[in-house]
Amino acid sequence: MNDFHNSCSVGIMAYNEEANIKIQFHSLLSQELSSCIIDEIAVVSSGSTDNTEKIVEHFSKIDSRIKLIIQDRRLGKASAINLFLKNAKNKICILVNSDTILDKNAIEFLIRPFHNLNVGMTGARPAPMNSSHTFVEYVCQFMWRLHHKISLKSPKMGELIAFRKGVINKIPEETAVDEVCIESIVKRNDYKLVYVPESKVYIKTPDTIRDFIIQRRRIATGHLWAGKNLKYIPSTRNKWLTLKLTLKELSWNPKIIFFTLEAVFLECLSRILGMYDYYIRRQNPYIWEVAKSTKK
């Protein structure tokens, strides 16, 4: 019997997620599964000051698989992930962001590729819940469409991932891009990355330009850190592939042309700010500023 038949451990890293954690639990507990069993759901609360921990404790009384792990101080997501991995008991671990909603078959599709023992990590397809009517909503939809199309050609993981615990036992706690860090370790150990577009996870994207730049700036800085310290560049940093797919997004609609060019401008600005943070300010935001509009 292969690893994928074993039970899975799910880890949720949370910081002040009282507005989202209930919905997260409902989507997670209603998963339709046949390739695995979720027998452990660990929530690592890092320095939460709201009702996150009370909500988790309430759900743990309803479902014994749920357990709360408390970090008294906020030490960064990577630190919380390492605490989860230290306590996880199963061979397949799943990380899901606490502000997402899972499609009912998301975990099932995510786990199936582990039939192949050469697969070390799988990633779901993040799908924005926002519409694309406003400028910021269009930009976010555009960015995640690009993420999807790039991942079909060269996998880039985010928001919901699964991996073999024997391959990943710990990640550097100073990383601000944990999925990229896990990707690099998986590939370094000669395991395959598999992007699973059938596995969908719904995300709340920023409502404001400020919050969009906060997110993208932090990710840009994190990618620079990963390039220097891990010698790893994620596929979304492939300029020529990104440019080629961006051009395919254009149409003769003046609004689409304008919004797309503005989206490119904001991404370039975020990357420049990320370079400024990393090279000039010598910052590495592994404890990052929250984009507040994504938490509503």
pLDDT of residue 219: 94
How many angstroms separate the Cα of 280 from the Cα of each of 229, 274, 275?
A: 17, 10, 8
Contact 194, 161 (CB under 8 A): no
Q: Give pLDDT tens digits for 259-278.
A: 888 999 999 999 999 999 99
- Share the mean pLDDT of the chain: 91
Distance of CA 220 to the CA centre of its chain: 15
Q: How confident is the model at residue 4 (pLDDT cuts 50, 70, 90)?
A: very low
Q: Give pLDDT tens digits for 6-28.
A: 689 999 999 999 989 999 999 99
Rounded to two decimals, what is the model's pTM?
0.92
Residue ranges of the domains in the chain? 3-295
Burial of 254 (0-12, 13-18, 19+ CB in 10 A): exposed
In terms of Cα–Cα distance, which of 44, 103, 107 is closest to 79? 44
Q: What order do you get walking across the sheet with 66-71 strand by strand?
A: 66-71, 37-46, 7-14, 92-96, 160-164, 119-128, 192-203, 100-102
Question: For the domain 3-295, what is the CATH code?
Answer: 3.90.550.10
Q: Give pLDDT tens digits for 145-187.
A: 999 999 999 999 999 999 999 899 999 999 999 999 999 999 9
pLDDT of residue 5: 55
Which residue is associated with the tokens 């601000």? 176
Query: What percent of the chain stands above pLDDT 70?
Result: 96
pLDDT of residue 202: 95
pLDDT of residue 2: 44
